Structures are given as C-alpha cells and as structure tokens.
Structure 1
Amino acid sequence: MKAKEIQDLIDFIAKSGLDEVNIETESFKLNVKRSSSLVTKAIETTSQQIFAPVATPIAPVVQTVATQPVVSIPAAEPVAASSNTVIVRSPMIGTFYRSSNPETPAFVEVGAEVKKGQVVCIIEAMKLFNEIESEVSGRIVKVLVENATPVEYDQPLFIVEPN
C-alpha cells in the first residue's frame, strides 16, 4: 500500500462514521482508530509490545508494523491565497538531507525546475532514508531548511512556484 493510498484511507475514515479499520498484508499491518477519549497506542516489535497512553481529540491514530517505512505524505499547501507559491512540508520527524551523500550535489537548488514526483530531499528516520518527492511541478523559490538538520512533522521544507 502506497503512502498516498494510506493518506486517502485516513481521510475517508475521518469523514465516515467508522471508528476502526484494520488492514494486514505480508509486509505491513495498519490499524486506524478514532476515539474521543484516552487512546492506548500499541506498536508491535519482533520481541515485545510497547504500550503508551496518548490523549487525543477525535483524530485518527495510525499504528503500523512494516518491513518498509509507511509514510504519510501531506500534499503541498498554498502559502497564502493571493500568493502563487506552494510549500512542500516534511511528512515525518527526522534528519533533513539535501543530497544522497556528502559527495553528490543537492537534489534541487534555488531556481531549479522540479516535476511532480521528483525527489527533492531525503529524511532519515530511525536509520531509514526516505526520499521526499515534490507534489507539484514548478521552480524552487526557497530552501527553508539547512542540510543535516532535524525537522519536525509538517515543517516547511521548500517554497515552490508552480508552472
């Protein structure tokens, strides 16, 4: 299941009356629950289970167990209604890298043209390197994060002027 499909599933569940959905394949397990009170989140590992109480207001909680990372990638959002730019945000917490290794050039530079689906950076999370793709075609106006620095979920990474 691709990240976009998972995002669409979560959005569908949020809009529907469903309280819980469980999907399991050979490569991952996905549990989505909606609750208005205290939620207990369990993430299975190979040797143990970890339980942590999490207080959340009526929002989906995603639990995954996978051999490959399951990444929810938010769509790029307009910076302002009157502006002709979009902002590409981080889909996860991790370390931001502009290139695949220190000896290679950055994936994109200011002024570079990007296409939808083109890799613009890498975010390392828990020793896994996740390629982050542009959600829009256009020109990079600004890089908002320094190389090899920590980023938060939903943190702005790039400003793109769409074609």
Structure 2
Amino acid sequence: MDIKEIQNLIKFVAKSGASEVKLEMEDIKITIRTGSEKTETTIVQAAPIAQPAAPAPITTQIIDPVTPAPAAANDDSKFITVKSPIIGTFYRKPAPDKPNFVEVGTTINSGDTVCVIEAMKLFNEIESEVSGKIVKVLVDDSSPVEFDQPLFLVDPS
C-alpha cells in the first residue's frame, strides 16, 4: 500500500464520520481515529518474514489537516442532526428508478421516511424523529454508514 492510497483512505474515513477504522492486511496494519480536532493515523508495518532478526515494527503517525473550520461547527449547532440507528448501506431513494425521499429544502414532519438503510439484505426505512426543513445531506447515496453517524441536518424553525 503506497502513501497515495493511505492518504485517500484517510480522506474517505474523515468524510464518512466514522470514529475509528482498522485495516489489517498480510504485512501492514492501519488504524485511523478521527476526533473533533484532528484525524490521527497509526501505521504499523511488519518486517518481511525472510529476515529473522528484524527490528521492532515501524510506527508512523500522520496528522491530516482536513478538519472542518470551527465557524462551520458553530453554524451547525442550531440544527438538529438525524442519525443512523443502525450499521448498513445508506440509500436516498426507495428504488433506483424512484425519486429521493428528501432533498435539501424539503420540509419534513416527525415520522416521515428520510432514507433507507440496507443491513443484511433488509431495507430499513429510517423515519425522522423531528419536524423541520432539511438543510444538509451529510452522506452520499450508496455509502456505508455506522451506528449513530449523522445523516441529515434539520432546521427545526
């Protein structure tokens, strides 16, 4: 795995909203942790098996400067976040040939379906627990989502 692939992985994890991702392959282990301040990546690469007296594993930390501006966080504080209740794949529409459940600017009521999350071949309709106007869609269509990951920002006013 080269540095470009690692950087792309860091950016993907930062955008996904996941708090921690671990990736283990035959000769490399990568752990990416995201927080409110920074994204931290630890890469542990084992020495090749052919060398019997290998030095200790190499540990590298890469701090990714891709963090949201504090001003943007303050603007979002007046909005309510609709979060994923389960792990699965996020879909904005009920079928490929159907329109999206909601768009930015759509007014929703409590109980309205805002998306579908597929988990173990079951499609679960996710209903809004709040009423308001959709301000931002935080997840791309057909993307994996984690439990409690923010999906939408809703303006309750």
Structure 2: state its 5+ residue gaps: 1-72
TM superposition shift of 1:83: 3.2
Equivalenced residues, count = 85
Match of 2:42 in 1: none
Match of 2:99 in 1: 105
C-alpha distance in structure 2 between counterparts of 1:85 and 1:95, whole Å: 24
Q: Deviations over 1:36-82 (max 9, x none)?
A: xxxxxxxxxxxxxxxxxxxxxxxxxxxxxxxxxxxxxxxxxxx87x9
Match of 2:115 in 1: 121
The amino acid across from 1:144 in the alignment is L
Determine which structure has the larger strand proportion and give its number.
Answer: 1
Q: TM-score, normalised by structure 1?
A: 0.49
The amino acid across from 2:142 in the alignment is A
Match of 1:160 in 2: 154
Runs (4+) of structure 1 moved beyond 2 Å? Answer: none
The answer as to 2:104 corresponding to 1:147 is: no
C-alpha distance in structure 1 between counterparts of 2:156 and 2:109, whole Å: 10
C-alpha distance in structure 2 between counterparts of 1:93 and 1:107, whole Å: 19
Q: TM-score, normalised by structure 2?
A: 0.51
The answer as to 2:149 corresponding to 1:138 is: no
C-alpha distance in structure 1 between counterparts of 2:150 and 2:78, whole Å: 16
Of all paired residues, the percent bearing the same amino acid is 62
